[in-house]
Amino acid sequence: MPDTSATNVSVDVSFDRHADDRELDELRHLLIGPEQTELVQLRERVDHLRHAEGISEVLPDAIVLRTRKDQQLTEALLPTVQQALTISVKRDPQPITDAIFPVIGPAIRKAVTTALREALESFNQVLERSLSWQSIQWRLEARRTGKPLAEVIMLHSLLYRVEQVFLIHKRTGLLLQHVAAETAAPRDADMISGMLTAIQDFVRDSFTLGTHDELETLQVGELTVWIEQGPHALLAGVIRGHAPVELRAVFRDALERIHLTQRAALEAFAGDDAPFEATRPYLQACLQTQYQPTTKKLSPALVGLIALLVVALGVWGWWTLRDNWRWHDYLERLRAEPGIVVTNAFKQSGRFVVAGLRDPLAADPQALLRESKLDPDRVVGQWEPYQALEPTFIRQRAEKLLQPPPGVSLRVQNSALVAVGAAPHRWIVDARRLAWAVAGITAWREEQLIDLDKQALESKIEALQSQTIRFAGGTTTLSPGQERMLNELAAALRQLDQAAAAIEHAVEVTVSGHTDASGSDEANLRLSQQRAEKVRSWLIAQGVKASALTARGLGAREPLQPEKTESDKAVNRRVSFTISLRDVSRR
């Protein structure tokens, strides 16, 4: 009989152990529960990174292998890449612009250069062919044979041209793709493809060929068919003319590229040629044309045109050079002219422009322009008036302002206006006042200028001063006939005073009394003063201004002649006159 008590003991022990584990788990959860959760999250992240690193290591090789296999990866990525590019351009086109800038610029320049070169070559060919003796021969041949002129020209100038290219599936012999040159006559491509396949089969069946022996060339009249064999397809090119061997490398390269990109389609081909539309660029690259090299001889028309251009440029250059010479000569003449200051000279829109300052008295720029033989319509003068300080212009402006009378000349000396000659007093006074208004004049000099009015007064004064009034001996009694002389003298003094006033001068008369040497000096001095006072009073009585008369007695100190006789003494008994003019205009 089994020992149930022992079993019960064992159950109890097991039960107690599970209870301890739960408690231990609860205790562990309470102590390090949050840390355990973080540890689990960290472990998941590390595992994810390890998985990503592993993918990144094999992803490039996987892409390459898949791309070689078929186009599914490309087709799968194409929408995503296009969408990514579209979004990127919409958001900010600058990165795309910066990325393609190094490519777009050279490509555009190359395209423009190629287009220009082809246009020039075409232009040259057109001229040469339309006017040369050879072109005439070709026209005659076209008329004789009934062929179009373009075809005749092509036959004579063409070295070779690939007119059509066929891509044929090797296993089925069906046409996969076909391209033809624009000038090639269109044919039924499927029929030609079938004929080529049949010809190959005929050659292979009729002759004992090696495993790798294939038909490579067919010659049909002017046409040659080159055939390049590939593992799954063959490429046949119809060539007019004599193509170089290097053209086979072009065919071979196109066929290799087609096999590289369309291998899966070629292997799985079952009659649908739609996937091979993508091979058209490779086939079109085989449509090459080469013309016979032409000599670089220029056509007579082009030579004539160039000659005309050279002559025209020469004439234009000569006219331009001549006008520039004349222009510089005109400027030099302007700069040499007194009263003209050239501040700026330039050429604008085919016209010469000169700007500066010009004194109205200076030479006329238009007259100088006519002398230089420049076209007046091509020269624009921009002149501002000013007064030059050249002595010539200062003198001319002074003459215009002062209007000097005949016999008077003006000159400028060290900024002073110098008058020379004889002029009326009124003009001298006005010139003295107005000379300062002339620009460039700082002084007025008239040392060499004679005042005609004053000169006339001085002549009269000199005549009046030569007159004397005589007296009887030892008295103030006038000698016979002296009263009349005094009256005449008074009248002359009045006229003199009026004439002096007209030129802003005043007359001053000193009446000097004299005696002979008969008496004492004291008596003679007193008698001479009395004689002078008597004459002064007589003149005042006759209307002469008293303020202009001064009387003085000199006794016998200034005899006219030695007293040897009574007649000599009578001459010394006299009254003499000293007359002067005083300028009253400058008071």
pLDDT tens digits for range 392-447:
999 999 999 999 999 999 999 999 999 999 999 999 989 999 999 998 999 999 99
Q: How far apart are CA 93 and CA 82, in angstroms?
A: 14
Q: Report whether pLDDT(7) > 50.
A: no
Residue percentage of the chain with pLDDT more than 90: 39
What is the number of H-type helices and E-type strands within the chain? 16, 16
- What is the predicted pLDDT for the residue at 9? 45
Compute CA distances 330 → 319, 340, 365, 375, whole Å.
16, 12, 9, 12
Compute CA distances 212 → 209, 215, 216, whole Å.
8, 10, 12
Q: How far apart are CA 396 and CA 587, in angstroms?
A: 32
Over residues 60-70, the mean pLDDT reads: 79
Q: Report whether pLDDT(1) > 70.
A: no
Exposure string of 150-163, with b = 16+ CB inside 10 Å and e = fewer, is eebbbeeebebbbb
Q: Report whether pLDDT(532) > 80.
A: yes
CB 167 within 8 A of CB 233: yes
Give residue-wise pLDDT tens across range 142-155: 788 877 766 677 66
Q: How far apart are CA 176 and CA 193, in angstroms?
A: 9
For tokens 């006038």, name the residue: 478
Q: How far apart are CA 109 and CA 117, in angstroms?
A: 12
For tokens 């002062």, name the residue: 402
Compute CA distances 151 → 146, 181, 185, 238, whole Å.
10, 14, 12, 17
- What is the predicted pLDDT for the residue at 345? 93
Using alpha carbons, select from 381, 379, 330 the residue that is nearest to residue 358.
381
Give residue-wise pLDDT tens across range 289-346: 888 776 666 677 788 888 999 999 999 999 889 989 999 999 999 999 999 999 999 9
What is the radius of gyration, based on Cα positions, of the chain? 67
C-alpha count within 13 angstroms, C-beta hemisphere, residue 267: 8
Compute CA distances 191 → 173, 195, 199, whole Å.
11, 6, 12
Q: Report whether pLDDT(578) > 60.
A: yes
Note the pTM of the prediction, 2 decimals. 0.44
* Residue 558 identity (one-letter amino acid): E
Of residues 536 and 44, which shows the higher confidence score? 536
